[in-house]
Amino acid sequence: MVDSIEDVLAGFSSYRYVADRSLATAVFLALRLKKPLLLEGEAGVGKTEVAKVLASVLNARLIRIQGYEGIDVNAAVYEWNYARQIMAIRSAETFGSGEPPDLFGPEFLVKRPILQALEAPVGEPVVLLIDELDRADDEFDAFLLEVLSDFQVTIPEIGTIRAATPPVVLMTSNRTRELHDALKRRCLYHWIGYPDFQRELRVVELKAPEAVESLRRQVVRFVQALRQIELYKAPGMAETIDWAAGLVALEASEVTEPVATGTLGLLLKNQEDVDLVERDHLARLVEVARVEA
């Protein structure tokens, strides 16, 4: 049971997710008010992980939709099993079974993630994650309005299917495009930003425990300073964790220029960013990282 913001914080902590109080408040309100929660923020700050951890905290089934250009109802909600329909028609013709089969009955319906979430049995908690919604087309936003408003979908051949128990719905966006205002109005909203030093240090401690404390501090100071540079893509927490794990794998006990140069690919995913850092900023970043070493 999640009866308070403190329950959310404790539950997330038990699954090694360091949530701040504002995020825990948004999650708690989404559960209490039974409203979808829209999480926006830069890539790599832990938006998708919120849904995964929440499913674990609630002991719920996680159903995930990955947003992409061109996603439609057939991929997200339902489609008809055309091959099975054709086989049924041929079988009726061959064996003369009388009336033709109902080709649009439930036995020919292929249930995709949204329909699976809406038709979950009563008492079975479900977390529906619509991940990177901004990668989908505007038309998909419009389709989701019925789902987010009333937890239902309409299938022309069958009718309206409404959830007996509404799923917990989380959506994520990296803001590569603006989502429709009508969709946002149906949701609670929370922005997940880059963490401060103490929170990021705690995340690295949990996710890369093999790194000694002095190395963890150097890693976080380096990354925090790196984000202050105007980059094409600043590193998120996922990259910080990867870098810490990479330095441990190299048996590095501290951040040095040679070590940083050889491992920048764990932090930066754009060659122009790598060139800029190596050329103009690396020495200063290493100095900042080692200020307390």
Distance, CA of 149 to CA of 180 (rounded, Å): 14
**Are the CB atoms for 179 and 145 separated by under 8 Å?**
no
Q: Which residues of 144-154 are buried (b: 16+ CB within 10 A; e: fewer)?
A: beebbeebebe
How many other CB atoms are there within 10 angstroms of residue 112's CB atom?
Answer: 17
The alpha carbons of the chain give a radius of gyration, in whole angstroms, of 24
Q: How far is CA 193 from CA 18, 43, 134, 179, 235, in A?
A: 13, 10, 17, 18, 12
Boundaries of every domain in the chain: 5-68+124-154+168-191, 197-289
Closest alpha carbon to 148 in 61, 38, 71, 225:
38
Please, which residues have CB within 8 angstroms of residue 81's CB and are 6 or more apart in sequence?
Answer: 108, 109, 110
| 61-66/126-131 β-pairing | parallel
> What residue has token string 């900042």?
288
- Whole-prediction pTM: 0.88
Q: CATH class for domain 5-68+124-154+168-191?
A: alpha beta
Q: Which candidate, 105, 135, 113, places its Cα nearest to that of 43?
A: 135
Confidence at residue 282, expressed as pLDDT on a 0 to 100 scale? 96
Nearest alpha carbon to residue 25 among 5, 47, 54: 5
Q: Which amino acid is at 34?
A: K
Give pLDDT tens digits along the chain (293 positions): 789 999 999 999 999 999 999 999 999 999 999 999 999 998 889 999 999 999 999 999 999 999 999 998 889 999 988 888 888 888 777 766 556 677 887 888 899 999 999 999 988 999 999 999 999 998 899 889 988 889 999 888 888 999 988 999 999 999 999 999 999 999 999 999 999 999 999 999 999 999 999 999 999 999 999 999 999 999 999 999 999 999 999 999 999 999 999 999 999 999 999 999 999 999 999 999 998 74
Q: Please state, in angstroms and as integers, the Cα–Cα distance from residue 122 to each residue in 155, 163, 164, 165, following that order.
A: 21, 9, 6, 6
Q: How far apart are the first and last CA of the chain?
A: 44
For the chain, the farthest-separated pair of C-alpha atoms sits apart, in whole angstroms, at 85
Going across the sheet that includes 61-66, the strands are: 61-66, 126-131, 168-173, 37-40, 188-191
